[in-house]
A and B are shown apart, each in its own frame.
Chain A
Amino acid sequence: MIPFSRTVGWITTAVIATGLFIGLVIFRLSSDLPGWVTALATVGVVLVVGALAWSAQFWPAIEYRHASYRVDGDGLEIHRGVIWRVVLNVPRSRVQHTDVSQGPLERSYGLGTLIVYTAGTDHAQVMLRGLDRADALAIRDHLLPREADDAV
């Protein structure tokens, strides 16, 4: 999960950095504002890109430390969030249906995302990212109704 998040982070950083850099170059060439404005803009861009790079490299590990989940007979409980923390509890009897999805990058890392659909409004979809694909499928099978007349 961490290498995957890092890769995603770096790709995002690279894209944004390129955009900002090109913007900066255009800005330098086309405007005739005093030199200190351009210098300030350059410093700003450098800071932003630096922050993005730091978060791409170090944030996934921090996030991972605070993320966990538990599946039991009653349902699924997800802990996530570093600064704003959430504990989500989805009872088994409230699971409408589930998806296991894989983006292209997730596929190359062997990861999957479990999406649990409920009848709620805020949490109509509860997502659990960065699972091993086999684990995601196992949890999904576990959350499916056991008996034919389970609460629906």
Chain B
Amino acid sequence: MSKKFHVSTTVNGDPVEFLCDSRETVLDVLRDRLSLTGAKEGCGTGDCGACSITVDDRLVCACLMLGAEAEGKSIETVEGIAAGEDLHPLQKRFIEYAALQCGICTPGILVAAKNLLEKHPDPTEEQVRYWLAGNLCRCTGYDKIIRAVMDTAAEMREAS
């Protein structure tokens, strides 16, 4: 097939190297080459947010970015949110509030929500809703998701 690209990058803090084809997306690379299957493909066209990751702290749809573009970047995925066994406050609240059902949107929503709280530690509810508007969930109806994010934000502000 086509020429392979050699890419050096950082994933969840670990230096990573991989070879990929010119057409492979970061999502393909993460899932098929690095066995990080937390990011999901819900649409492949940037409309559902199931594949959300951050690249140099910017929220990105992994299905819209080529693997070759990851050179020299720092990527964070859902697998990097917890510190070992210690869950991030967002993860704890999502469990506690039952803010998930089938769970397949959850990785993308957590990545997006964490990115929001890093940039806006004190978001309004409207801000949360519009920040997460690109992350579709077919199961929950979103109410518990919003409440989990709002309450985590409050908790994290108190803690810091």
* A and B assemble together: no
